[in-house]
Amino acid sequence: MLTWALRALLVLVVLNWAGLLLRTVAGRKKRSFHVDPLSGPPDPPLEGVSVVVPARNEETNLGPCLERVLAQEEVRLEVVVLDDGSSDGTAEVLARFRGDARLKAVPGVGEPPAGWFGKPWALQRAQAHATQPWLVFLDADVRLEPGALAATLSYAREHGLGMLSGFGTLTTGSFWERVLQPVVGGLIVAGNDLGEVNDPARLDKAMANGQLLLFSRAAYDAVGQHAAVRRDVLDDVGLARAAKQAKIPFHMTFMRAQFSCRMYEGLGDIWRGWRKNLFAGMHYRWGVVLSVVTYLGVTNLLPWLLLILGAAGLVGREWLLWGTGLVLLIHGSRAYLDLVFHHPLRYGPTQPLGVAMAMLLMLDSAWSSRRGRVSWKGRAVDVARAPEREG
């Protein structure tokens, strides 16, 4: 009986990876919800855009980010940067750009008031200085490609959207980034079917990426600005949820041709960043965490266990063959996905290590959040009474 149950489980593992590959191939062919580069000047000309960048201890990132933003063409551009109480050289970096009349530098002094998390408070203050009919909220670690703002705004206008966000290209540098980031990022993309996310009738499906959020000013005001998500750990997802509830047309898209982002540098940054977000992304539910951890263990680590036990002669030849075949399927799938998402192929064999680390990270995120406080960029974040948790 147990033998047949294990065989059935392994068949499900095969179907899981085959289904993932088929969905990826089909999505690339259909080009559904992809923001592609413009083939020529937009007609009619595009309206003005205010790019709003919050900067807290972004000495390394802010300069390259602003250089790419200020190089955007085909849009009437305004850039609002709020230095959110930085203790590094962020202010000095910002000072280098103050000769550009398109840039407004906004000081941000003091801690957020009661009832606000840091990033929503920074963006709420910064956007008050924006004057253009479209807003782009951009993280300082984002690097725009040439023509990105024009292509993004053209897509929103073509589809009649009030809000738009997207997945960019994930950039990695260190060993642990290349091991862990593709696994966590892949789970987020795989767990959010864009057909459901972009279906206005599916109010239970909301997803956005705070690295780049585009709003019309009217839509942003209608959802209540960032005040509507002042205590959301995932303020981007909260804004997408508010937009759908307000019946504002919204799309979550692929924007790999429009921007790239290196989210974290090194294992410490990765751990602190995802520890803050992952449990919130799983709706503060231990049942969801344990389900995802179990899924990852079965679909990624069980085949390796069978292969190792079979090679050591501790299980029969059938299980060695199952393990070998599934490991080849997993790594063939990973190689294809790495090609699609522009990740280094040589890190594909680290898949089981990345999955094991991701499982530990999810459990740590749940445990840390259960205690009520996590930290990011030198600020403690009290998640005990976050609206997503209460909901």
Q: What single-letter DSSP state applies at residue 345?
A: G
Q: Is 274 exposed, middle or buried (0-12, 13-18, 19+ CB in 10 A)?
A: buried
How long is the chain? 391
Which one of 220-224, 337-341, 364-368 scores highest in mean pLDDT?
Answer: 220-224
Which pLDDT band holds residue 129 (cuts at 50, 70, 90)?
very high
Q: Report the first-to-last Cα separation within the chain, whole angstroms.
A: 42
Q: What is the pLDDT of residues 52-105, one digit of tens each?
A: 999 999 999 999 999 999 999 889 999 999 998 888 899 999 999 989 999 999
Q: Is there a single domain that holds both residue 100 and residue 228?
A: yes
Q: How confident is the model at residue 233 (pLDDT cuts 50, 70, 90)?
A: confident
Q: What is the DSSP string of 149-176?
A: HHHHHHHHHHTT-SEEEEE-EEP--SHH
If asked whether residues 75 and 221 sit together in one domain, one would say yes
Closest CA to 252 of 265, 241, 268: 241
What average pLDDT does the chain have?
90
Bridge partners of residue 108, in order along the sequence: 84
Mark whether 241 and 130 lie in a shared domain: yes
Q: What is the DSSP secondary structure assignment for residue 134, as one 8-state letter?
A: E
- 3-class SS of residue 57: coil
44 class by beta-carbon count within 10 Å (0-12 exposed, 13-18 middle, 19+ buried):
exposed
- Under the banding of pLDDT at 50, 70 and 90, the label for residue 141 is very high
Alpha-carbon distance of 150 to 45, in angstroms, equals 10
Find the mean pLDDT for residues 192-196. 88
pLDDT reading at 379 higher than 70:
no
Residue in the block written with tokens 């696994």 = 183
Asked if 259 and 289 sit in the same domain, the reply is: no
Quickly tell me which residue has 């009832």 as its tokens. 115
* Cβ burial 314-328 (10 Å sphere, 16+ → b, else e): ebeeebbebbeebbe
pLDDT confidence of residue 342: 84
The pLDDT, as a whole number, for residue 145 is 96
User: 175-190 vs 351-370: helix axis angle to the nearest 10?
Assistant: 70
Which CATH number does the domain housing residue 113 bear?
3.90.550.10
DSSP 47: P
Is residue 189 a part of any domain in this protein?
no
**pLDDT on residue 365:** 92
Note whether 85 and 151 are same-domain residues: yes
Both 163 and 47 in one domain: the answer is yes
- Other beta carbons less than 10 A from residue 101's beta carbon: 7
Residue 12 and residue 134 in one domain: no
Domain that includes residue 313, residue range: 2-27+279-378
For the chain, what is the domain count?
A: 2
DSSP sequence for 290-319: HHHHHHHIIIIIHHHHHHHHHHTTSS-HHH
The CA distance from 299 to 57, in Å, is: 39
Contact criterion met (CB below 8 Å) for 270 and 176 = yes
38-47, 109-118, 219-228, 360-369: segment of lowest average pLDDT: 38-47
Q: CB-based burial of residue 185 (10 Å sphere; 0-12 exposed, 13-18 middle, 19+ buried)?
A: middle
389 pLDDT more than 60: no
Does 331 have pLDDT greater than 80? yes
Is the pLDDT reported for residue 214 higher than 80?
yes
Q: List, edge to edge, every strand of the sheet that includes 250-254.
A: 103-108, 77-84, 49-55, 134-138, 212-216, 163-167, 250-254
Same domain? For 127 and 255 the reply is yes
